[in-house]
Amino acid sequence: MTIGGASDDAPPRPEKGGRGRTPRSPFSLAVLTLCFAALFAAFIALGVWQVHRRAWKLALIARVDSRIHAAPVPAPPPAQWPDITRKSAEYRHVSVTGQYRHDVTLVHATTDLGYGYWALSPLKTLRGFTVLVNRGFVPADSANHISSAMPPDGTVHITGLLRITEPKGTLLRSNRPAQNQWYSRDVPAIAEAHHLGRIAPYFIDSDKRTSGTDPAVGGLTVVHFRNEHLSYAITWFALAFLTLFGAGILFRHEWRVRRETEQGGGDQPAKR
């Protein structure tokens, strides 16, 4: 029998509030639980890792800062070269006295003074060893007049920061020794290209102009360590919290569906 176009035998429509929806199977709930747990654990692990990275970065900054502002010490001689590492020696404030070899290697550089080159020259020290010195910045036109970038004559006293060699080039450009094109201060490669023989495994960034006749402008070393680990840690921990929040919403919804299903289980339509 139909009244107003509706059949008495039509199935009841789901009521608002969740009745008529099918609960997820135990297997589906188990899979979802594992996914939420895995995401939560991963986000927490990443957050903890960033906390440890931040502690390491702060210790590095403090160590480098103390080295930069310390009184200069003699540059490490050959006996100490095997122990030179980035952790143990980089940015140590050092001094050295000697005479420059009449030679210069120009390494592409961009500084506050504009585009140009770092002028690197080998220094024969009074202590008998040779070390490469980054005398400072020279403008781009020095590439066309390399004689204008040559080091000064006579004995010079250098103070500066000990820097570790920069092998192969930069992320975007590789050094090309055969064409005398340099994009990083690769000490062994420069020494080989210029036949310098045995040389210190580091170079020195000059503090300032060491001579009134030196065209290179020293003291331009930028010491900056990016430290955004705290914001990264907060992001990962926030994602972990959102994962828990999302899981809570899902399982609360699932609990309501199951409860409403159980409550509506006896509401069968009357037989006619």
Residue 9 confidence (pLDDT): 57
End-to-end Cα distance, the chain:
10
* Cα–Cα nearest to 151, from 131, 134, 129: 134
- Between the alpha carbon of residue 141 and those of residues 106, 110, 115, 116, the distances in Å are 11, 14, 10, 8
Residue 10 confidence (pLDDT): 54
Beta bridge partners of 124: 99, 130
Element (H, E) at 100: strand 93-100
Counting beta carbons within 10 angstroms of the beta carbon of residue 66, is it exposed (0 to 12), middle (13 to 18) or buried (19 or more)? exposed
Residue 12 confidence (pLDDT): 53
Beta bridge partners of 131: 123
- Between the alpha carbon of residue 210 and those of residues 141, 183, 243, the distances in Å are 22, 24, 59
Mean pLDDT by 10 residues, the chain (272 residues): 51 50 80 90 94 86 82 94 91 94 91 88 95 92 72 91 91 89 94 93 85 77 81 93 90 84 59 44
- Between the alpha carbon of residue 101 and those of residues 28, 72, 74, 123, 176, the distances in Å are 75, 23, 20, 6, 22
Residue 96 confidence (pLDDT): 95
Residue 58 structure tokens: 């702060």
At 192, phi and psi to the nearest 5? -70, -40
The three state secondary structure string of 23-51 is CCCHHHHHHHHHHHHHHHHHHHHHHHHHH
